[in-house]
Amino acid sequence: MKGKTGMYSIIASIVSSIILVVVFLALALLKNSGRAIPLYTNVDIMAGMIFVFILSMIVSASIWPGIIEKRMK
């Protein structure tokens, strides 16, 4: 059961981080599309996506194991 908890927490962390990256991408593209001169370049958006992914993985890797362990009991 311990091995399953670790696998489930990694999967949950990756999925939640990807969802946050997609939300970040959508908001950045929405902000850029409404302007005549784009506020952000593609490099800025990609760097922001990487930054959001890394930060959300750090946070979710500390949150998900506790949640999954409580649910498995």
Q: Quote the CA–CA distance of 49 and 41 in Å, as a whole number.
A: 13
Q: Look at residue 41 and give its three-state secondary structure.
A: coil
- Kindly tell me if the per-residue pLDDT of 1 is higher than 60: no
Residue 25 located in a structural domain: yes
Residue 11 located in a structural domain: yes
The pLDDT value given to residue 2: 58
Residue 58 located in a structural domain: yes
Q: What is the pLDDT of residues 23-68, one digit of tens each?
A: 999 999 999 988 888 888 999 999 999 999 999 999 998 998 888 8
The pLDDT value given to residue 3: 64
Split into its structural domains, the chain has a count of 1
Give the residue numbers spanning the domain of 20.
2-68
Q: What is the pLDDT of residues 3-22, one digit of tens each?
A: 677 888 899 999 999 999 99
Helices (H), the chain: 2-33, 42-72
Sign (positive/negative) of CA torsion 52, 22, 31, 45?
positive
The pLDDT value given to residue 56: 96
Residue 59 located in a structural domain: yes
Write the CB contacts of 60 (distance below 8 Å, at least 6 apart in sequence): 12, 13, 16, 17
